[in-house]
Amino acid sequence: MILIDAVFVASYGGINVLKTLLNSIEEHERKLFTLFLDDRIEKLNIDTIGFKIVTYQKKGIFNRQLNFLKIQNEIKVVLSLGNVPLVVPKSIYQITYNMQYFVFDVSMINSFRLKFSWLFKGFIIRTLFKFTKSDVAVQTNTMASLFAKIKSAGEIYNFPIFKPIIKSKKIDNTPTNFIYITSNQPYKKVDFLINAFNQHNKKHKKSKLFLTIDDENVFRGLNKLSNNNIINLGYVKNDLVKKILSSNYNLVHPSLIESFGIVLLEASWNGNAIIAPDLDYVYDVCEPSLTYNSNSLESLVEALDIASIKPLIPAKPLIQNKSRELVILLLNKLNE
């Protein structure tokens, strides 16, 4: 039997990975799989029809481990999907799927509470790798290089997983419109982009910048000059992301780091132009249309100016969804 342990999967990105993975398991194969799911997602109506056993559990390392011990004798292969490996006997093959950069580096987190939380989580995860043998699955080359530093980790596989993205039939290629789909974490550098856009706007008065900051008070604090050409769309639901991308040709993405860069991936598959810093995480998922020096405000201003003169070439996606390849690996391990 194969166990897919997703007890710690409850974020938007993690849920999309889980759904895509489950959809990649063919109907006749589902009887070979048992699912541990986070009870926070029980009401999401995830398709679990045909799987051998499906249990929803409260998150927690000890509770999850105890539930695993109850079925351990029936399990030959484990996929731990939520960053945290289970402690399993050597006779069981395990691969842990990691989707979080902050397991390794918390320097870009300004919130003390959040930083302490990830320091603790990172310590637990690295410690668990020392007590149980586990291969690793990641989404990008950057994450693979970070895991290579954990000597106790096993073989490292690159299995990016994301739901299928269909290119828009029509995109508004107005060169003076820019969009940044983002939260307001400091490492996202929204303030940096606003400062650059204000300088750009002095010369290109028709340019508009659209942001997706969920707190309007935070947005007003960032938009200190009350520039009417900077427009906040507020929180954007996932099903509207493609519509927003199709309404704004230029995606600007000044973030310093991403575990995966799903917005870059969606935009490149959609046919948008992407302006991004010259950083490794960008090239993990796409070939951007235009890059700039991440430390230079003038470099970003220059990039915005160039994009406003005429439409940039579309960015190119560099990765494919490999959810089925991961399923095949699990099935092969089961049959060994």
pLDDT digits (tens, 9 = 90+) for 268-298: 999 999 999 999 999 999 999 999 999 999 9
Task: Say if residue 151's pLDDT is above 70.
Answer: no
Which of 10, 18, 16, 78 lies closest to 48, judged by CA? 18
Q: What is the pLDDT of residue 153?
A: 61
| Contact present, 35 and 6 (Cβ < 8 Å) | yes
Computed over every residue of the chain, the mean pLDDT equals 89
pLDDT tens digits, one per residue of 78-134: 999 988 899 998 899 999 998 888 778 777 777 778 888 888 888 888 888 877 888
Of 52-56, 111-115, 156-160, 269-273, the one with minimum mean pLDDT is 111-115
Note the helical H segments in the chain: 12-23, 61-71, 112-131, 141-147, 190-203, 216-222, 238-247, 262-270, 280-285, 297-309, 323-335
**Per-residue pLDDT band at 1 (split at 50, 70, 90):** very high
| Contact present, 245 and 272 (Cβ < 8 Å) | yes
Task: Say if residue 152's pLDDT is above 70.
Answer: no
Sheet holding 53-57, edge to edge: 53-57, 33-38, 2-6, 77-80, 93-97, 135-138, 156-158
Percent of residues, the chain, with pLDDT higher than 90: 56
Q: What is the pLDDT of residue 307?
A: 94
Task: Say if residue 149's pLDDT is above 80.
Answer: no
Average pLDDT for residues 251-261, to the nearest whole number?
Answer: 91
Q: What is the pLDDT of residue 216?
A: 86
Question: What is the C-alpha separation between 16 and 18, in angstroms, rounded?
Answer: 5
**Per-residue pLDDT band at 14 (split at 50, 70, 90):** confident
Tell me which long-range contacts 145-154 makes (C-beta under 8 A, separation of at least 24): 146/101, 146/103, 146/104, 146/105, 147/98, 149/104, 150/126, 153/129, 154/95
Q: What is the pLDDT of residue 286?
A: 95
Helix (H) or strand (E) holding 292, with range, is strand 290-292
Domains of the chain: residue spans and CATH: 2-163+321-335 (3.40.50.2000), 177-317 (3.40.50.2000)
Sheet holding 290-292, edge to edge: 230-232, 208-211, 177-180, 250-252, 273-277, 290-292
pTM, two decimal places: 0.85
Q: What is the pLDDT of residue 20?
A: 93
Percent of residues, the chain, with pLDDT higher than 70: 99
DSSP state of 275: E
Average pLDDT for residues 303-328, to the nearest whole number?
Answer: 94
Q: What is the pLDDT of residue 90?
A: 87
Q: What is the pLDDT of residue 122?
A: 82
Question: What is the C-alpha separation between 88 and 332, in angstroms, rounded?
Answer: 19
Q: What is the pLDDT of residue 45?
A: 81
Tell me which long-range contacts 11-15 makes (C-beta under 8 A, separation of at least 24): 12/238, 13/99, 13/259, 13/260, 13/262, 14/81, 14/82, 14/99, 15/41, 15/44, 15/46
